[in-house]
Amino acid sequence: MLAVGLIFIWLAISKKWEPYELLPIGIGMILANLPGTGLLLQPQEVGGEIGAAGLLGIFIEYGILRFTVLPQLIFIGLGAMTDFSPLIAKPKLFLLGAAAQLGIMLAFLGALALGHFGIADFDILKAAAIGIVGGADGPTTIYLTSKLAPELMGVTAVAAYSYMAMVAFIQPPIIRALTTKKERQTYMKSQIRPVSKRERVLFPIICTIVVVLLVPQSAPLVGMFMFGNLLRESGVVERLSISAQNSLINLTTIILMLSIGASMPGEVVMRPETLMVLALGLIAFAGGTAGGVLMGKIMKLVSKEPFNPMIGAAGVSAVPMAARVVQHIGQKENPKNFLLMYAMGPNAAGVIGSAVVAGVFLNMLG
Amino acid sequence: MIDWQEAWQIAAIALGFTFGILYFLCLLTLLASKIISFFPGNSENGEERPANNNLAAGE
């Protein structure tokens, strides 16, 4: 496990793979596996009083396992950093975000199949926790896994963040396989309509009310996400918005990722099932990309305006990497094309979509 | 023992619900934008922001 921690640190520093996540995860792993530190001692009630506990034990117990506070706090910061303007300007891009959640279902059913044939000890709860990796959303993955299968939390989180870092390698071959050159070259005009402040303020409020009424279990994620967005878009709480985008998200990232790394015991990680989780995670990402692109092709058929189906790949909510992948491929195929702003629409919608899926899973399995 | 009927049901409901909710949000956003466009001073204080002015930030 020490070696695994060192590898993550190397990936973060040398390869710049999601350094904000993998660096503290790597250190957390090392600290958790050095003997005699007491850092992992989780608070236990002894005779009506809480006994001694280690720093990482406190973070894990209260931040993740018992109250799942940390992923929710990160979502406030993510919401404050998200610009929904492209989605508000072109609401049909919501459908691409929905289609990209196909990857979650593929991984969910795949994990169940492995359990069914006795290849891995994956029950329905573990399968849901593995499937949500396909949502390409770290905090959502951590949140759901901590509720349904806490023993897999570290592995699924690492899988999610690792594949987010590899989006630029995973997505292009799938996009190219599912689209023709002519489709990839489809030019979408570079100006889309301006979005008013009223729309940008109403959007998070409407989303919160609608989604939480329909899927109450998604409230911790969607509610916090939209709250953060409202801080940003209201324009009257600049300090709070700046804090959410900077101090809040940075502090909670430090604590959460350190805890994730520390909560990966060697006896869980060094098992064949860990490789299966990683493989299923890859299937989830690939399936999500494929789902988004295929929906893009359907929308191209019915759209009156030119529609580049590649932007569906950005429904995999690795923000903003997936959108940048689409932008990069789009420019290579047609240098006049500037797809980034279109791709940010499904990118943002995918975050909402994966949070909704997590809420539904919790509602049905939690 | 995996109950496959339950599993398919969960997958179908989760995906269907997600599609349904996001489609509903799509329609609501369209409706809200239309209604807002009838209000005077829509871009007052404010900064209409071009939708291609993305301050995209990584997680």
Query: CB-CB: which of B26, B32, B55 is closest to A202?
Result: B32
From B43's Cα to the closest Cα of chain A, the distance in A is 6
Whether residues B48 and A198 touch (CB distance < 8 A) is answered with no
Would you state the pLDDT for residue A158? Answer: 86
User: Model confidence over A232-269: pLDDT tens digits?
Assistant: 999 999 999 999 999 999 999 999 999 988 887 777 67
Cβ partners under 8 Å of residue A65, min gap 6: A146, A150
Beta bridge pairs of residue A50: A45
Considering chain A, what is the average pLDDT of its residues?
91
Contact A317, A164 (CB under 8 A): no
| A43: preceding bond cis by omega (within 30 degrees) | no
Would you state the pLDDT for residue A18? Answer: 83
Q: What is the ipTM of this complex?
A: 0.86
Q: Name the pLDDT band for A87 (thresholds 50, 70, 90).
A: very high
Separation between Cα atoms, residue B56 and residue B54, nearest integer Å: 5
Considering chain B, what is the average pLDDT of its residues?
78
Per-residue pLDDT averaged across A6-27, rounded?
90
Would you state the pLDDT for residue B57? Answer: 44
The least confident of A5-14, A187-196, A327-336 is: A187-196
Whether residues A124 and B30 touch (CB distance < 8 A) is answered with no
Whether residue A191 is predicted with pLDDT greater than 80 in this model: the reply is no
The counts of H helices and E strands in chain B are 1, 1
Contact A137, A167 (CB under 8 A): no
Cβ partners under 8 Å of residue A215, min gap 6: A222, A356, A359, A360, A363, B17, B21
Would you state the pLDDT for residue B52? Answer: 47
- How many of the other CB atoms lie within 10 Å of CB of B51? 23
Residue A211: Cβ-neighbour burial (10 angstroms; 0-12, 13-18, 19+): buried
Contact A314, A350 (CB under 8 A): yes
> Percent of chain A, pLDDT > 70?
99
Closest chain B residue by Cα to residue A189:
B52
Residues on chain B touching A123 (C-beta within 8 angstroms): 2
From A74's Cα to the closest Cα of chain B, the distance in A is 9
Per-residue pLDDT averaged across A342-357, rounded?
93
Whether residue A78 is predicted with pLDDT greater than 60 in this model: the reply is yes
Nearest CA to A226 out of A87, A64, A66 is that of A87
- How many of the other CB atoms lie within 10 Å of CB of B45? 8
Whether residues A196 and B43 touch (CB distance < 8 A) is answered with yes
Whether residue A197 is predicted with pLDDT greater than 80 in this model: the reply is yes
Query: CB-CB: which of B11, B21, B22 is closest to A109?
Result: B11
Whether residue A46 is predicted with pLDDT greater than 60 in this model: the reply is yes
In chain B, % helix, strand, coil (3-state, to 5) comes to 60, 5, 40
Whether residues B18 and A91 touch (CB distance < 8 A) is answered with no
Whether residue A15 is predicted with pLDDT greater than 70 in this model: the reply is yes
Residues on chain B touching A112 (C-beta within 8 angstroms): 2, 4, 7
- CA dihedral A65→A68→A71→A73, nearest 10 degrees, is -140
- Please, what is the angle between helix A69-81 and helix A224-234, to 10°? 30
Cβ partners under 8 Å of residue B40, min gap 6: none
Would you state the pLDDT for residue A73? Answer: 94
Would you state the pLDDT for residue A60? Answer: 86
Whether residue B45 is predicted with pLDDT greater than 60 in this model: the reply is no
User: Model confidence over A161-175: pLDDT tens digits?
Assistant: 888 888 989 999 999
Whether residue A184 is predicted with pLDDT greater than 70 in this model: the reply is yes
Would you state the pLDDT for residue B42? Answer: 54
Label residues A252-267 b or e (16+ Cβ within 10 Å = b).
bbebbbbbbbbbbeee
Label residues A101-117 b or e (16+ Cβ within 10 Å = b).
bbbbbbbbbbbbbbbee
Query: CB-CB: which of A81, A193, A214 is closest to B21?
Result: A214
Would you state the pLDDT for residue A45? Answer: 72
Residue A123: Cβ-neighbour burial (10 angstroms; 0-12, 13-18, 19+): middle
> Percent of chain A, pLDDT > 90?
66
Whether residue B29 is predicted with pLDDT greater than 60 in this model: the reply is yes
Separation between Cα atoms, residue A136 and residue A316, nearest integer Å: 6
Query: CB-CB: which of B6, B25, B52 is closest to A191?
Result: B52
Cβ partners under 8 Å of residue B56, min gap 6: A83, A319, A320, A323, A324, A340, A344
Nearest CA to A354 out of A315, A313, A307, A300 is that of A315
A-B C-beta contacts closer than 8 Å: 178
Would you state the pLDDT for residue A165? Answer: 82
Separation between Cα atoms, residue A303 and residue A210, nearest integer Å: 27
- Please, what is the angle between helix A102-116 and helix B4-37, to 10°? 170
The least confident of A54-68, A122-136, A191-205, A217-231 is: A54-68
Whether residues A92 and B26 touch (CB distance < 8 A) is answered with yes
Whether residues A360 and B48 touch (CB distance < 8 A) is answered with no
Whether residue A313 is predicted with pLDDT greater than 60 in this model: the reply is yes
**What are the strands, taking DSSP E only, across chain B?**
49-50
Would you state the pLDDT for residue B56? Answer: 45
